[in-house]
Structure formats: structure tokens, C-alpha cells
Amino acid sequence: MTTSQYHPETLSVRAGSESTEFGENSEALFLNSSFRFKSAAQAAARFGGTEPGNIYSRFTNPTVTMFQNKLAALEGAEQCVATSSGMSAILACVMGLCSAGDHVVASRSIFGTSVQLFSNILKRWGLEVTFVALTDVAAWQQAVTPKTKLFFIETPSNPLTEVGDIQALATIAHQAGAHLVVDNCFCTPAIQKPLDLGADIIIHSATKYIDGQGRCLGGAVLGSKTLMEPVYGFLRTAGVTMSAFNAWVFLKGLETLHVRMEAHAKRALELALWLEAQPQVARVHYPGLKSHPQHALAMRQQSSGGGIVSFEVKPASVQTAQEAAWALIDATQLISITANLGDAKTTITHPATTTHSRVSAEARAETGITDGLVRIAVGLEHVDDLKADLALLTR
């Protein structure tokens, strides 16, 4: 199907889908590792690349290919390469496009494990990394060196939902001869399309909203054919590819992406407005709120505020901030205490002692991740039940 003639909701349901001679209406799961050839000559042609077709599921698999084509259509990307997890998507992107001695400028407000990958692992292999504040555009300009290959951001950021200016950062990256990479995990293409705003590469943890129901691990890297060629080259060789079963689950997840993201965002906004009105809450971080420092920018880049809300709990006089946050979390009956996000089940977490516990206390203070901060990934339950579950805030 030509993707440009249909609306995004239709692409979610229909794009990338193909059927076999059996005419199945739902995508088939190809749970096989290798593919048979009609002859030795055909095998040689497939391996030589002169004849298209599947060889081995580490290289290509029809179910994974359908997932890649669907997500590429949704992001408006020439090519998508599926990976075993969100982390392996970031690894494949850097290993495909950078060499020892190259330099990456990364936002200091990225997923905790992404910070570890850049600063502890990739640094050992000779990659230079500079971390700067997401919203300080001048700092990105200053961080550029002749060796800079990539700018790496997440917007909105985790857990404070700071919003980075994709267009401005893409301009600076391009002037430096570098590429802008956007981890679009929090928004998904249902809310934000970074390539349309000038970004070059998109990263996804499919584990989150693309799955949508907390079942499988997976990831993806998207961009032009030219940029994806070395990324795919790394993947098929290193083997951190997506399993066919997981791709089949994600294909089903993508079909409902637009209705789910709308429902998550609607509930998140309502909960954020309610939280703002609670005397026990010092501050709410949500891009859809007028009080958010980059609200106007967020509303230019995104079709909604998304599903993640974080807020600071005010401690009672006898409590520390951490005690107040933990008391609120421990008093919940319905909401799941877990660090995952993008699930139909609402989740609650204390970033300072979980997702960001490996970040030093100074770095946390610098980025605003206080001991009273609580993050909620709003699921699909009725919002009144979520408010009732946070009743400690109303006392």
C-alpha cells in the first residue's frame, strides 16, 4: 500500500501487513530460524544479494519485516531495523555510525541505562561523550567538536518530562555535520514525529507503548536507507535482532497505538490537573499543563502531553521528602509499584531510589530529580480510581 494516502490511524492497522497463500487476515507468526532454497544456485543468489528473499532469521524474518514496515510507515522513515530491546537499538545505532575517537553529545536527561551505556561501556571502546542539559540549546552548540557524529536526546525526558527543541537541535547538529538521534519512546509516532521536525534517526523501546501491555522486550532504529545500512550491518552480524514472536506481539500492539495513546494522554492530563490542586503536592511535571516551562514548545511538537506525569510530594513536618514519597507509593492498592511504563496498568515509581539510583546524588540534584519526586505512567484504568488510590495526597 502507498502510505501517503492514508491517515496515521489507518496505517497503524493496515501498513506493512502481508498475507501468505492461505489468505490469513491477521499477520502470521513465522517461528522458524532458516529458509529453504529451490536450488544451490538460488542459495548462492540469495547469499550474494542478487535475489531478494529470506535466508536466516538473524538477517530477516517475514514477521519481523512486517513489524519494521508498519513502524517505518508510522514514523515516515525510509527504513526501520528491529532490535532485541530498546538498549540494543541504541547500541546498534552507535556501533553502526561511530568509531573509536568519535564524539557524541547526549542530553543528561536520558534513560538511566542509556547513561550507563554511553559513559561506562562505550567510553571503554574509545567513544567520547559529553552530557549537556536538554533545554540549554547554546550548550549543545558549545559541546560540538570536529569529531562530533551524533546528538542524542529523549523528549519528553524521563522522569521530569522536560521538552527538547528538536528543530533547533537538528539545525545545530547538521551545521556540525552530525546527526540528531531522538529516543521517541515516551511519545510514539501517535503523538510526535521527530523526522518531520528535522531529526535524522529515531530510537524506540518497543517494550513500552508499542507493546502497550507489558509483555515483550524489543526495540527499533529508524532513518534513511543510507544511515540504516551500517546499523543493520552491525545488527545482523552481532545478532541483537528482534525475535519473530515479539514482532508478532508488537504488530498487534501497533494496531491499537492511536486509540491507546489518546486514552493514556486524556487520563494523564486529568490526573495532572487534579495533582496540581492537591495541597500535599509541591510541583507537577507534565507537558500538557500550562505551568510546564516548555508547554508552548511541547504543544508545537506533540499532539498531546503523553502518558507520563511526575510530581513532588510535600513532606509533613516529621518526614523527609523520601519518606513522604515512599508513604504515598506504599499506600496505593491498585497502581503497580514498578519502574516499567507504557502498560495498560498504571505504574508508580520513586526515580531517586530506582531508575536513577545509579546516578550520583549531585547529578540528581543538578537535573532536578529530588527525593520527593514520584513518577506515574498513567494506564487505561478509570482516572477516578487512580485519584482514589492516591488518597494520601488529599488528607
Which residues contact ligand PLP by CB under 6 A? 85-87, 111, 114, 154, 158, 183, 185, 205, 207-208, 217, 219
* CB of residue 249 to ligand PLP, shortest distance in Å: 13
SS3 labels along 304-326: CCCCEEEEEECCCCCCCHHHHHH
**Smallest separation, CB 142 to ligand PLP (Å):** 25
Question: Please, which residue, 77 or 281, has the CB nearer to ligand PLP?
Answer: 77
Burial grade of 262 (CB within 10 A; 0-12, 13-18, 19 or more): middle
Cell of 170: 537538528
Distance CA 280, CA 195 (A): 40
Closest CA to 207 of 243, 162, 161, 160: 243
The CB-of-157 to ligand PLP minimum distance in angstroms stands at 8
Pick between residue 315 and residue 342 the one whose CB is nearest to ligand PLP.
342
Grouping H, G, I as helix, E, B as strand and the rest as coil, residue 219 is strand
Fill in the amino acid letter for 322: Q
Which of 54, 192 has the CB closer to ligand PLP?
192
| Cβ proximity to ligand PLP, 113 vs 141, nearer residue | 113
Minimum CB–partner distance for residue 116 and ligand PLP (Å): 11
Nearest approach, Cβ of residue 307 and ligand PLP (Å): 12
- The 3-class SS string of 63-108 reads HHHHHHHHHHHHHCCCEEEEECCHHHHHHHHHHHHCCCCCEEEEEC
In the complex with ligand PLP, which residue's Cβ is closer, 208 or 350?
A: 208
118 three-class SS? helix
Q: Which residue's Cβ has the minimum distance to ligand PLP?
A: 86
- Between residues 67 and 111, which has the closer beta carbon with respect to ligand PLP? 111
Q: What is the DSSP string of 168-187?
A: HHHHHHHHTT-EEEEE-TTT
Q: Which is nearer to ligand PLP, 140 or 186 (CB)?
A: 186
Nearer to ligand PLP, 185 or 386 (CB): 185
**Cα 130–Cα 166–Cα 376 angle in degrees, nearest 5:** 85
The minimum distance between CB 315 and ligand PLP, in angstroms, equals: 28
Distance of closest approach, residue 3 Cβ to ligand PLP, in angstroms: 26
Residue 142 to residue 298: CA distance in whole angstroms: 24
Counted residue by residue, the chain has a size of: 395
Single out the residue of 342, 309, 307, 333 nearest to residue 388, CA to CA: 333
Q: How far is the CB of 378 from ligand PLP (least distance, A)?
A: 15
Q: Which residues, including other chains, have CB under 8 Å from residue 106's CB and lie 6 or more apart?
A: 114, 115, 118, 129, 130, 131, 132, 151, 152, 153
